[in-house]
Amino acid sequence: MTSPIGGGITAAAGFRAAAVSCGLKADALDLALIVADEAASAAAVFTTNLVVAAPVLVAKRHLAESGGTARAVVVNSGCANACTGVEGMVAADAMATAVSQAIGCRTEHVLIASTGVIGLHLDSTKIARGVADAAIRLGRDTHTAAAEAIMTTDIAPKEAAVRVDTPTGSFAVGGMVKGAGMIEPNMATMLGFLTTDAAVEPDRLRRALSEAVDDTFNAITVDGECSTNDAVFLLASGASGVTIDEAAHAAFVDALREVCGTLAREIVRGGEGATKLVAVRVTGGGSDADARRAARAIANSLLVKTALNGGDPNWGRLLAVAGRAGVAVEPARAQVRIGPAVLFADDTVFADREPAAAAHLAGDEVEVQVDLGTDGDRAATVWTCDLSAQYVRINADYRT
């Protein structure tokens, strides 16, 4: 049984967190530190962007060197430390070293992340001071402050946690994210931090994270971007005494998926200028990849996103985008549904149902579905938000 609980990134036993203002941002929390009482299993997924920020390179290297274990994760906002050349690598290494000295652990047991302006050099002195400050403030009532410290243009901190009761005891999974939706200010950096007190071997942890991310963080889109800094980290302390073996694997992934799904949808809901959370469902696909690709094309279409913003049940745009997505479609057997209303099926338009569809689109959580009409039965869901004039204003004027 799985129940939502409080506690965010420190809901799981064996973890403490702190948030401080180290001066990268004016008068705001800008550095979060998460520390495991003992070396924990660790896994991460990183951006697929070929232009990779220095902290991503360092975190990847440390995970490889440590064989998938870690004691701490440190993250700053206000500076992405991306496109910063050799100096950026030096600053990223220094950030990890500062944590290893402050809490007394091996450098490769420190994972790091940064978010903020591209091309700006990270001030290692400020980071070192902030880390030292954070290390003496670690606690379990600071999880919301930590979620605040990683925010950029996010409207509110985003955290979630669940408790899972199993025959052999209960364990927790918790976490926090900073949103995408064209964030601070160059690309839509998405950072996620997850902890659990289940005992999970590094290999299994990696597999479980990958499975959970695929249906959650990898199934959302705000503007189709993938930043130089995107990363999701998961640490497992084992402090609950519950061990995840093959029999418990699915339940563990389900719990991870619940936390990641909640956080992922919060990111979309908080997309810049967004007024609606939109579930784009594609069915009747010839393959999983086709279904996902069509759903993603629809979720990223300007035509679809602007129609949703206007509350317009413009089913023709949904079908036409599916048609140019590069997947198998059988137009004569395709269907389009908006909320409760099937607006196109069997090559026939049901214009009289548009009012019902429009009423559905007036809400702030909406669902649209395109059945591709192939002989296949593969399906996929991608979450997106609408595109508002407000989004354009935010991103046109960001740095000016």
Q: What residues are labeled active site?
A: 189
Task: Specify whether the CB–CB gap between 280 and 24 falls below 8 A.
Answer: no
Phi, psi of 229 (to 5 degrees): -125, -5
49 binds a copy of itself per the rule CB under 8 A? yes
**Which residue stretch of 127-135, 161-169, 251-259, 321-329 sits at the interface with a copy of itself (rule: CB under 8 A)?**
321-329
Nearer to a copy of itself, 10 or 77 (CB): 77
Q: Say if CB 335 and CB 318 are below 8 A apart.
A: no
| Residue 69 interacts with a copy of itself (CB under 8 A): yes or no | no
CB distance 90 to 98 below 8 Å: no
Complex with a copy of itself: residue 235 or 294, whichever CB lies closer: 294
Q: How far is CA 398 from the centre of its chain?
A: 22
Residue 213, CB-side half-sphere exposure with 13 Å CA sphere: 23
**Beta 341-345 vs 231-236: how paired, if at all?**
unpaired
The three-state secondary structure class of 255 is helix
Nearer to a copy of itself, 27 or 375 (CB): 375
User: Shortest distance, CB of residue 389 to a copy of itself, whole angstroms?
Assistant: 4
Check binding of 58 to a copy of itself (CB under 8 A): no
From 150, 277, 322, 368, residue interacting with a copy of itself (rule: CB under 8 A)? 322
3-class SS shares of the chain: helix, strand, coil, % to 5 = 35, 30, 35
Q: How many C-beta atoms surround the C-beta of residue 53 within 10 A? A: 30
Closest to 189 (Cα-Cα) out of 201, 204, 174, 178? 178
Asked if 352 interacts with a copy of itself (CB under 8 A), we say no
User: Quick check: 332 binds a copy of itself (CB under 8 A)?
Assistant: yes
| 295 lies in the site for a copy of itself, by CB under 8 A | no
Q: Closest separation between CB of residue 31 and a copy of itself, Å?
A: 22
The reply to whether 226 sits near a copy of itself by the rule CB under 8 A is yes
Binding site for a copy of itself (CB under 8 A): 47-52, 82-86, 117-119, 182, 185-188, 223-228, 301-303, 306-307, 309-312, 314-317, 319-324, 328-329, 331-332, 334, 344, 346-349, 351, 387-393, 395-400
